[in-house]
Chains A and B, each alone.
Chain A
Amino acid sequence: MTRPAEALPTQEMLINMGPQHPSTHGVLRVLLRTDGEVVVNARPDVGYLHRGLEKIGERVTYAQFMPFTDRLDYLAAMNCNCAYAWAVEKLAGIEVPERAEYIRVIVSELNRISSHLIAFGSFTADMGAFTPFLYSIREREIVNDLFESVCGNRLTYNYARIGGVSADLPPGFLEKTKEFLDYFEPKIDEYNNLISYNKIFVHRLANVAVISAKDAVAYGLTGPNLRGSGVKFDLRRDEPYSVYPKLEFDVCVGTGERGALGDCFDRYMVRINEMRQSIRILRQAVAQIPEGPVMAKVPRLFKPAAGEVYFRSECPRGETGFYIISDGTTNPSRLKIRTGSFVSMNIFETVTKGLMIADIVAVIGSFDIILPEIDR
């Protein structure tokens, strides 16, 4: 028996996507209200990894909080380490030896490459192309080996210290870094040939979840997600810290090359291009790094003068800001952590209205969120 199409009843469906789902990059739950394949509303539900890091911060000394910053964004732990160290140094007015600053920039940019590699690999895997993930993991292993030689760890590094870094670079590190850069630079072209301009891949991303520059600023997007919308703003250039003023690089922005400006493809391409810029920064830093000490003389239990500092730095997932209130004791009175992924999730419900369910996966991947940083 057949019935005319208009007689078929339709109704909205409520679907639970996550918290355990291969494409949500961790324990993210999205409450989908769908009409067939079309998303009526997608409401993110975060907090499954909340560990109360800000509360812990009030209970430990400034130096003791360093290992916890590894657990903010575990794919870019070096960047989080350094961001926290810079914030406390600004609060306490500590001068850091120049060699230590160069080391921090070198490990930060290496970590930015390895973090963008995961972003690229997992994003393409989400889009149904599994092979690029293996390529990106292969290159990331070399970075992990380099980090292991620096600090003994491959994921949670705990390398930066307030006043410097925990140990000088091991012999041969700079040479190995140069070898890695020579090996890695042509690989980016390989990725582009392999997947970036693949017709199906472009179709999945172009014109999906377009965010205008105005919206991106108003919603507080930062990092590659902001630059994907064409806003040329990079804290390394616009609010320079550490030794970044001495290093030349371009700020990559989305150009709308395959669709509207600010779509998923632009956010993806910004990360690919930023890896090239990180290579440029690394080549200069490796050539310029001076000899000298790597730690300033900082007592382990120090008491910064009462005051408040907000310091932000450019991490792979956007602005990581530390708002620290000191009341003159050994522990922070308040340690607020502002992370790029947390703020990115705010716009999620707005941009996913009217997309297809498969596009939700593309949007999550293009934001490159990481859950421990959201939930803290």
Chain B
Amino acid sequence: METQALFDALKAKFGEAVLELQTTGFRPAFVVVAPASIADVAVFLRDDPSMKFDSLMCLSGVDAKERFAVAYHLHSLAHKHQIGVKAFLPRENPSLPSVDAVWPAANFMEREAFDLYGIVFEGSKDLRRILLPDDWEGHPLRKDYKYPESYHGVKL
């Protein structure tokens, strides 16, 4: 499916919640959606017969300077096409619905974004830190992260 046609179909279905299409310089192209509707968009993208995005390749947190973003890279084994979906979040209390009920693969990747960026995925079946210790303070991949001087009395 062509990127523009895909964007138009999403726009027709979700209206205001689909914000823009990022194409120039983006491979694959990104559809930017409102964070609150990400789970609904995800179900549509997975189940619609012309979309069938059955596989979540990658889910990444991003620090886009004045705001955060979550980027989803989707692939369809049936149609052999790809698309990116992105949601921008404010720096204060970033949160959006979880998609691990849509693609179970999302769980570990959401935990990673939670761990390293502090992005909260509402309704996740198991949202805990994954790479860092449970009692670690802060979220290291944020651009304004301050390195701790010690951890449990050990100088870093």
Binding site for B on A (CB under 8 A): 46-47, 50, 52, 54-55, 90, 215, 217-220, 231, 233, 238, 305-310, 312, 319, 321, 323, 325, 334, 336, 338, 342-343, 345-347, 350, 375-376
Q: Give every chain B residue within 8 A of A218 (Cβ-Cβ).
A: 54-55, 103-105
Chain B: minimal CB distance from A170 (Å): 36
Q: A46-B131, A50-B132, A217-B77 are in contact. Are A321 and B108 (CB under 8 A)?
A: no
User: Which residues of B are in contact with A by a Cβ distance under 8 Å?
Assistant: 22, 24-28, 30, 54-58, 60, 62-63, 71, 73, 77, 80, 84, 103-105, 107-109, 112, 116, 129-133, 140-141
Q: Which residues of A contact B132 (CB under 8 A)?
A: 47, 50
Give the residues in chain B near A307, CB-CB below 8 Å. 24-27
For A310, give its contact among B57, B130, B133, B140 (CB under 8 Å).
B57
A361 to B: closest C-beta gap in Å = 21
* Minimum distance in angstroms from A376 CB to a CB of chain B: 8
Chain A nearest CB, measured from B130 CB (Å): 6
- If A46-B130, A238-B80, A310-B57 touch, whether A220 touches B27 (CB-CB below 8 Å) is no
Q: Collect the chain B residues with CB atoms within 8 Å of residue A50's CB.
A: 131-132
How far apart are the CA atoms of A293 and B116 in the complex, in Å? 42
Measured CA separation A336–B103 after assembly (Å): 19
Which residue of the partner chain, among A55, A231, A323, contacts B58 with CB atoms under 8 Å? A323
Interchain CA distance A348-B63 in the complex, whole Å = 30
Name which residue of chain A comes closest to B115, CB basis: A47
| Closest chain A CB from B43 CB (angstroms) | 13
Which residues of A lie under 8 Å from residue B107 when comparing CB positions? 346
Q: Are A231 and B77 in contact (CB under 8 A)?
A: yes
- Residue from the list A46, A305, A338, A350 in contact with B25, Cβ < 8 A: A305
Contacts A54-B141, A308-B26, A310-B84 given; indicate if A319 touches B62 (C-beta within 8 A): no
Residues of B within 8 A of A375 (CB): 131
Contact present for A220 and B140 (CB under 8 Å): no
